[in-house]
Amino acid sequence: MDDIKVKINDLTLHYGTNPALKNINMEIPEKMVTAFIGPSGCGKSTFLRTLNRMNDLIDNVKIDGEVIIDGLNIYNKDIDVVNLRKKVGMIFQKSNPFAKSVYDNVAFGPRINGISQRNKLDEIVEYSLKQAAIWDEVKGRLHNSALSLSGGQQQRLCIARTLAVNPDIILMDEPASALDPISTSKIEELIHELKQQYTIIIVTHNMQQAARTSDFTAFFYLGELVEFNKTEVMFSNPAKRQTEDYISGRFG
Ligand SMILES: Nc1ncnc2c1ncn2[C@@H]1O[C@H](COP(=O)(O)OP(=O)(O)OP(=O)(O)O)[C@@H](O)[C@H]1O
Ligand SMILES: [Mg+2]
């Protein structure tokens, strides 16, 4: 049996009176890749954001239920949300590097955490960029603007920036959907490398990408978790008719 990193119990989320997530229960295994799939508007991004409390930033959101990470409900009143978001990092569809140098992007989080020694920062920056598979491309231009990088490089830089604060879990919301095929396959290879060390959850509209990159897949429809299964089972022998219709392209 795999170790469980995140356990979701009876999670319901409303935007105002609109229920966007309905009574979700799920166990996400540690150091594996879990993919979230489903048609537009089914609640994938909303659900992803509940895992590091990014929905706290949105007005009028009401959340019931529990998200247990390492045995602790992250919705407990005494949880330090800043720490939580370090531990559960997030990568977005549109890469969002700061208008700073490559180096300063990666050093940003560690500096906020109080690390100021140059050699220590150099070490973290190099290690994170290597882990994000972009070091060779940027090592000669660490002090150039991050905005001078290509789109695919910017996305890997954002991954390096997330890794630099030493997360356990990395949430990725369609991280490659704005990228060309070569950059996309670099991100997919990177996900494969990173899962040795991190628990990764990826939202994707690309069925081939879910099949290639993930160990487990969750299919959502209209705010409900329809099916959660091993990816190979989900794509070869889904338990539910709705899943089969979606992955075979009959709707969505
Ligand atoms: N900030 C918000 N305020 C109010 N309603 C929202 C908000 N964000 C999302 N919703 C609604 O919640 C539902 C789920 O949206 P969500 O963005 O989670 O879907 P999604 O599965 O990620 O879709 P997509 O594949 O298009 O990204 C939708 O009905 C959406 O309109
Ligand atoms: Mg979304």
pLDDT tens-digit map of 79-103: 999 999 999 999 999 999 999 999 9
| 81 CA to centre of ligand 1 in angstroms | 22
Tokens of 196: 């040795």
Residue with CA nearest ligand 1 atom 6: 15
Per-residue pLDDT of 149-197, as tens digits, reads: 999 999 999 999 999 999 999 999 999 998 899 999 999 999 999 999 9
| 136 CA to centre of ligand 1 in angstroms | 38
| 122 CA to centre of ligand 1 in angstroms | 39
User: Does 250 have pLDDT greater than 90?
Assistant: no
Handedness of CA 223, 227, 229, 231 (dihedral sign): negative
User: Does 1 have pLDDT greater than 90?
Assistant: no
At 226 the pLDDT is 98
At 11 the pLDDT is 98
User: Does 252 have pLDDT greater than 70?
Assistant: no
What is the 3-state secondary structure of the chain? Answer: CCCEEEEEEEEEEEECCEEEEEEEEEEEECCCEEEEECCCCCCHHHHHHHCCCHHHHCCCEEEEEEEEECCEECCCCCCCHHHHHHHEEEECCCCCCCCCEHHHHHHHHHHHCCCCCHHHHHHHHHHHHHHCCCHHHHHHHCCCEHHHCCHHHHHHHHHHHHHCCCCCEEEEECCCCCCCHHHHHHHHHHHHHHCCCCEEEEECCCHHHHHHHCCEEEEEECCEEEEEEEHHHHHHCCCCHHHHHHHCCCCC
Q: Is 43 in the pocket of ligand 1 (CB under 6 A)?
A: yes
Closest among 90, 55, 51, 69 to 7, alpha carbons compared: 69
Residue with CA nearest ligand 1 atom 25: 40
Judge whether 90 and 158 are in contact, CB under 8 Å.
Answer: no
At 50 the pLDDT is 98
User: Does 232 have pLDDT greater than 80?
Assistant: yes
Tokens of 219: 């299919």
Tokens of 162: 């997330």
What share of the chain has pLDDT > 70, as a percent? 99
User: Does 2 have pLDDT greater than 90?
Assistant: no
Domain boundaries, the chain: 4-247
Per-residue pLDDT of 46-57, as tens digits, reads: 999 999 999 998
User: Does 251 have pLDDT greater than 90?
Assistant: no
The full length of the chain comes to: 252
- CA dihedral (170, 168, 159, 173) in degrees, to 10, reads 10
| 221 CA to centre of ligand 1 in angstroms | 12
Q: Is 39 in the pocket of ligand 1 (CB under 6 A)?
A: no
Residue with CA nearest ligand 1 atom 22: 45
Q: Is 202 in the pocket of ligand 1 (CB under 6 A)?
A: no
Per-residue pLDDT of 106-146, as tens digits, reads: 999 999 999 999 999 999 999 999 999 999 999 999 999 99
Residue with CA nearest ligand 1 atom 31: 41
Vertex 212 angle, CA 224 and 187, to 5°: 100
Tokens of 240: 């539910």
Closest among 73, 76, 98 to 162, alpha carbons compared: 98
User: Does 221 have pLDDT greater than 70?
Assistant: yes
Best substitution site from 17, 22, 24, 45 to test ligand 1's pocket, by max atoms within 8 Å of Cβ? 45
Question: Which CATH number is 4-247's, of 3.40.1280.10, 1.10.260.40, 3.40.50.10490, 3.40.50.300?
Answer: 3.40.50.300
Tokens of 58: 């949105």
Best substitution site from 37, 42, 202 to test ligand 1's pocket, by max atoms within 8 Å of Cβ? 42
At 249 the pLDDT is 85
The rounded radius of gyration (Å) of the Cα atoms in the chain is 18
Residue with CA nearest ligand 1 atom 16: 43
Closest among 223, 178, 229, 226 to 46, alpha carbons compared: 223
